[in-house]
Structure 1
Amino acid sequence: MTHIPTLRLATDIGGTFTDTVIVDKNDNVIASTKTLTTHENPAEGAMQGAKRALEAAKARIGDVAGFIHGTTLATNALIEKRGARVATITTQGFRDILEIAYERRYSQYDINIEKTDLLVTRDRCLTVPERMSAAGDVIEALDGQCLPKLLRQLDSTGADAVAICLLHSYANPAHEKQLRDLLHAARPDLVISISAEVSPEAREFDRLCTTIANAYIQPMMSRYLDAFEARFVAEGLTCPILMMTAGGGMTTLKTAAQFPIRLVESGPAGGAILAAHIAAESGLDEVLSFDMGGTTAKLCLIDNAQPQSSRQFEIGRAARFIKGSGMPVRIPVIEMIEIGAGGGSIAGVDRLGRLTVGPKSAGSEPGPVAFGRGGVEPTVSDADIALGYIQAETFAEGQFQIDVAAARAALTACIGEPLSLDAFGAGDGVSRIVDESMASAGRTHAVESGKDLGPRTMIAFGGNGPLHACRVARSAGIDRILVPANPGVGSAVGFLFAPVSFEIVRSRYAMLQTIDLDGINTMFESMCAEALSVVRQGDATSEIETRRIAYMRYHGQGHEIEIALPDRALTVNDLALLAAAFEKAYSRQFSRPVPGMVIEILNWSVHIATITGRDVLQMSEPSRREIIPKEHRQIFCDVHARHLDAGFVHRKDLVPGDTFKGPALVVEPQTTTFVGADFTLLVDARSNLILNREVIS
């Protein structure tokens, strides 16, 4: 009898830990594990995790029928400046697109302003004579006679990769493709990214930056993906590997290698997909996902089971919380706020005598002091260990010993002595600083989106999310927390709920009153065919859904509003409906429409994805049964600021309907849920942990 593989495996490589999850054909998690990330060779840590998880599942790698991978490698390479040496080629006369940027300073009155690092210095900005009109008509042909001079200039820069961004190439990519072919013929080893494929949208600065970022990480990511695939194939993997993207979908290794910029933030996107899936199952309309790992914390607003999305974000901000201080990238992305606050975030006292936490992280190498791997500076995890929130006997599946005394000694030496505090006061200070930083980031993100955190349910996961959820929720004004099953590997679990998808955005300017419907419909046919071909490479049989979007604005405005289009060819009868839909959306965002204004459309997009089941899971709530924890551990209580005995409960021993009051620690193999003194825990019908905040007199 022929053996048919039925398991699916997901691996998420983070800055500190690599998470691995295996599910059966019914999407039940049958094994999961966390292993330390091996930065020199990330595939090795992923293989260690896969072997451990397969052993726990009593399976072989040949039993895996689906493999999904997400990684922070692309993000870290951009932030840490570990990419290729890139040169740019733009239209003659437009050499200084990067220098001019938005023609403004991100902090108007800062005399010591730090300029945004855009990865390419002016001496590597080259030009060629050519010109396209905004309509895509050739004004000046690209003359191949310019090639010898261009090659000499290119060789003198020592560039490994080239980003080509010619004027109005989104309207007509012919010159970019011609130039790429000429360069490839002359320099076959040169890595070339063209803006017409990476980000075919108007706005030259954003388009050029996106193409530079893609070219910057393309050589490294291509080598990494080839090595990753070869490593697993050598061990017996027979199914294709799919990559998680920043937009919350999956794509093939081939597409990922061509457009690695779409892999930026792919790990956090998996967490948002998990939270959206849980929100759909539980019938939650307003959610804040809270994913805290070893290096960063990520927060995302989710409404009606859909994560908030965007088409632009910034990389490597010179000023962490100031928009415009980073490198703009225009790709489909799940919108979230990410701060350098994780278990490995390093704490200290600055020259002004202030307690600081992050963004620098100890990561997995050397890691927190208590890990005994060479770390000497106290971290958030050291504070949690010193305060009793992390118990050595249950931490990280017992992979390594925790030295509580070392954590307390480091806190005392580096923080306590300068501030006249003992180890517990220092640890409590670290905890309060990092928790308030995360809560403040969540509040700011909500305000910028015109939303309120108060009525939302926080869905907490990640290695440190459940541990800090109560403290962050209290500061953010949130009264209800949900901790799902397998929260320590939440992002990897989320990968397994993601669809295979691809989104294409194109710029084609049109006024609604004079729109060329035939031209728009022809463009949509081409976009749908292109997106579908990518999706079918990853999933040849599943049913698909298509979303068409128009980005509309009033004439003369600088930014657009997303308006849904019908999934069919547009007709004259649709124009009035589109105008009404735009004015309704505009009124919702800006209080009222502007009468008599001409409506225009700059960008159009198509998003094709396989359909995943996300229906509300109807289950009757179990009868409540108040339990009294049989074991206790001493903690330094964050509410009362003194030592208290906290209940110590193994999550595997809890059943739906169980309830008890905090303070308590609910432990499981990859994380601990801390139930604050002002929270009550209830296990719901789906075995989620529900924490509700109560007022303490």
Structure 2
Amino acid sequence: MNRVGVDIGGTFTDVALAHAGGLSTCKVLTNYTHPEQAILDGMAKAAQQAGVSLNQISQVIHGTTLVTNALIERRGAKLAFITTEGFRDVIEMRSENRFEQYDLNLSLPKPMVPREDRLTLNERMGPKGEVLLPLDSAEVDAMVATVLAGDYDAVAIGLIHSYANDAHEVLMAKALRVAQPDMSISLSSVISPQMRELPRFNTVIANAYVQPQVAEYLGHLVARLRDADIGAPVFMLHSAGGLISVETAAEQPVRLLESGPAGGAIFAADFARAHDLDKVLSFDMGGTTAKICLIENGAPKTANTFEVARTYRFKKGSGMTVSTPVVEMVEIGAGGGSIASIDGLGRIQVGPRSAASEPGPACYGRGGEEPTVTDANLLLGRLDPDDFAGGAIPLSVEAAEAAMTSKLANALGMQTSDAAFGVTEMVDENMANAARVHTVENGRDIEHFTMIGFGGGAPLHACRLCEKLGIKELLIPPGAGVGSAIGFLKAPFSYEATRGLFQRLDAFDAPAVNTALKELEGEAQAFVRAGASDAETHTRLTAFMRYAGQGWEIPVALPFKPFVDADSGDILAAFEAAYETLFGRTIDGLSIEITNWSLVVASVLPEVVRAIRHSSGTSAPAERVRQFYDAALRKTVDAHEVLRSALSSGRSVQGPAVIVEDETTTIVTSAFFAVGQGDGSLLLRRKDDA
């Protein structure tokens, strides 16, 4: 079977083709005007390398940033939001939290839907699904007339407590579809049937806002593939790290929010299992962003909420919180194309603006005039100007130097090389700080983790990041430059179904829970079977629980089985264990509540092949000696340049060294050495810990 994974990033589109002879990969610049063209170009290039014709491709798996970009840039449908009378301003009032406590001029993000487009119905459901105020047919007819008169492209319907009883949402949607059959309509009881109206409303709004655009893009992509004689089925990677059909993705595009980065987490988790690593810090650095994720016991950490489009210095709370299954990670504007500038205090800042692929870093010679991280790495000797991307993109040292000098060095009164060092050191510290915060928030000690670095930029920066974080071991997998695309090929078919069902644990109602879980399992199984009809599956169950009076819940893994009332004791023990892991202690004397349930059905993946590990080895032959700037030593050092292919199993190189391949470059600093592993990975370890 010839399977293709395609990841469209902010700078590069990555393609990985798995075929009978192995794996063929390539990177092409992202085409912002026609993103599907970069996909076709990359697939053609990879197929040519593999000796496979395009009509022999049997499966296409795609991840995209289209949804995230549309929400950030506010490029979506003209949208109406229908909600219950008295709740139209929930999305504007947000929560009570101030994401910047001491900013007296704090400006809250504008809601996705202007107030005049937020429409209300005079109806009301209770929290247990009881009808408190019926929805009158005349009210429905009047709303249909209002929507039609507004000439909207899409409608989001989010009524209070619809997770407990969706009858009024369904009634309203049915009337709209009769009046205008081609209108895009999203229901909160379908998209996010969970407690808490703010994230539920945000989620259904986000889904409706991007649905026409995503449906058009996916339809166009499938048509272009068919025109290119690629008749293979197309699947999408959703943000929780599983595959769904392109039809499901078109109906629920909000599930694609972090589809690309999720592929990277799957890629890292696969190598964590192969190397028997229980505690892994996944570090994915591309051209526009860097993503950091915790992987424990061979699986990435997941969450049921995600914050998109942060508007205030990327601070938590300044964005739009949506409740959709997602691989939990921290993402910052720190990639190879991130632009360096000087802030009001005269300090070098990097990102979040990016030169992306159009025009790209100054050294690309495509019109970019701003200094970027890639320009800095080139000036510090970490990139070969004649062998970048396997020689496909020649780099201009002169253009990089001109941008770094004119925009930074001259203004700061320093040497160009010092400015370049400042850029790389700033971006490395930003990423290190994000990693520290992420691990502390999850109650972990980062020094005990192994880093797995991938993406075009991570191998350049990972050693320095390990030095800053005190991490002693780093793994660079084969194909690291296109890690997310390879991760798509390793993803299971999966679907997560959620339901709000509030209960006090001391009044645990097992029959009600079992009824809800049976419905969730049926929903999830239906979506998985649509993509993998005969696959073996397994089921994971999570309850979201809290102490009474607390404002937020924690996820608690539970066995999937028919519950009896007496199981409340086991559920209590599981909650206290999870709570103590996160916060170091439990709280006596407080009741415990369950708010939401999550059930995941996923296809069973084959067992990974255990890698043969080497902690040392014989020296690999060097191609030449070149120089790069070692940040820890604050000086330029002589380094052996070694081909990645020369570091076969059991071959090693002492740092400082530069390991080169077509899609990325691995910098081995003076404090580390690298050893080839049995699966083609590179293991980098600190010399003083060997």
TM-score band, normalised by shorter chain: over 0.9
Please list the CA deviations of residues 179-215 of structure 1 after superposition, one character each: whole Å capped at 9, or x if unmatched.
0111122233321111001100011111001111111
Partners of 1:622 and 1:685 within 8 A in 2:
no
Pair 1:571 & 2:564 matched: yes
Which of 29, 36, 52 matches 1:36?
29
What is the one-letter code of the residue matched to 1:205? Answer: L
What is the one-letter code of the residue matched to 1:7? Answer: N
Cα deviation for residue 619 of structure 1 reads 3.0
Pair 1:14 & 2:9 matched: yes
- Aligned-partner Cα distance in 1 for 2:309–2:162: 27
Which of 6, 24, 31 matches 2:19?
24
Q: C-alpha root-mean-square deviation of aligned residues, in Å?
A: 1.8
1:108 is paired with a residue whose SS is coil
Please list the CA deviations of residues 566-622 of structure 1 after superposition, one character each: whole Å capped at 9, or x if unmatched.
322112342222222222323333333334433221111110000113446163648
What is the one-letter code of the residue matched to 1:421? Answer: M
- Aligned-partner Cα distance in 2 for 1:589–1:389: 39
Pair 1:128 & 2:121 matched: yes
Partners of 1:280 and 1:614 within 8 A in 2:
no
Partners of 1:282 and 1:616 within 8 A in 2:
no
1:435-446 equivalences in 2 (<5 Å): 435-446=428-439
Q: Which deviates more, 344-353 or 150-159? A: 150-159
Pair 1:525 & 2:552 matched: no
Q: Tell me which residue corresponds to 1:598.
A: 591
1:13-412 equivalences in 2 (<5 Å): 13-24=8-19, 29-155=22-148, 157-412=150-405
Distance 1:335 1:146, change over 3 A: same
Partners of 1:170 and 1:507 within 8 A in 2:
yes
Distance 1:596 1:348, change over 3 A: closer
Partners of 1:277 and 1:614 within 8 A in 2:
no
- Aligned-partner Cα distance in 1 for 2:272–2:293: 13
Partners of 1:117 and 1:326 within 8 A in 2:
no
Partners of 2:623 and 2:643 within 8 A in 1:
no
Partners of 1:281 and 1:614 within 8 A in 2:
no
Cα deviation for residue 496 of structure 1 reads 0.8
What is the one-letter code of the residue matched to 1:557? Answer: Q
What is the one-letter code of the residue matched to 2:290? Answer: A
Q: Tell me which residue corresponds to 1:3.
A: none
Pair 1:678 & 2:671 matched: yes
Partners of 1:242 and 1:253 within 8 A in 2:
yes
Partners of 1:18 and 1:34 within 8 A in 2:
yes
Q: Tell me which residue corresponds to 1:609.
A: 602
Which of 575, 600, 621 matches 1:582?
575
- Aligned-partner Cα distance in 2 for 1:260–1:578: 33
Q: Tell me which residue corresponds to 2:452.
A: 459
What is the one-letter code of the residue matched to 1:684? Answer: Q
Distance 1:514 1:620, change over 3 A: closer
TM-score, structure 2 as length reference: 0.97
Partners of 1:10 and 1:69 within 8 A in 2:
yes
Partners of 1:622 and 1:656 within 8 A in 2:
no
What is the one-letter code of the residue matched to 1:188? Answer: P
Cα deviation for residue 691 of structure 1 reads 1.1
Q: Which deviates more, 168-177 or 82-91? A: 82-91
Q: Tell me which residue corresponds to 1:536.
A: 529
Cα deviation for residue 170 of structure 1 reads 0.2
Partners of 1:123 and 1:157 within 8 A in 2:
no
- Aligned-partner Cα distance in 1 for 2:631–2:177: 61
What is the one-letter code of the residue matched to 1:553? Answer: R
Q: Tell me which residue corresponds to 1:635.
A: 628
For structure 2, list consecutive stretches of 5 or more residues without a partner in the other structure: none
What is the one-letter code of the residue matched to 2:624? Answer: E
Distance 1:279 1:325, change over 3 A: same
Partners of 2:544 and 2:595 within 8 A in 1:
yes
2:387 is paired with a residue whose SS is helix
Pair 1:433 & 2:423 matched: no
Pair 1:659 & 2:652 matched: yes
Distance 1:666 1:618, change over 3 A: closer
What is the one-letter code of the residue matched to 2:581? Answer: R
2:106 is paired with a residue whose SS is coil
What is the one-letter code of the residue matched to 1:15? Answer: G
What is the one-letter code of the residue matched to 2:226? Answer: V
Cα deviation for residue 635 of structure 1 reads 2.1
- Aligned-partner Cα distance in 2 for 1:207–1:656: 50
- Aligned-partner Cα distance in 1 for 2:412–2:150: 51
What is the one-letter code of the residue matched to 2:523? Answer: E
What is the one-letter code of the residue matched to 1:172? Answer: N
For structure 1, list consecutive stretches of 5 or more residues without a partner in the other structure: 1-5
Q: Which deviates more, 179-188 or 567-576? A: 567-576
1:608 is paired with a residue whose SS is strand
Partners of 2:16 and 2:482 within 8 A in 1:
yes
1:290 is paired with a residue whose SS is strand
- Aligned-partner Cα distance in 1 for 2:29–2:365: 14
- Aligned-partner Cα distance in 2 for 1:8–1:337: 29
- Aligned-partner Cα distance in 1 for 2:130–2:585: 38
- Aligned-partner Cα distance in 2 for 1:110–1:33: 46
- Aligned-partner Cα distance in 2 for 1:543–1:381: 45
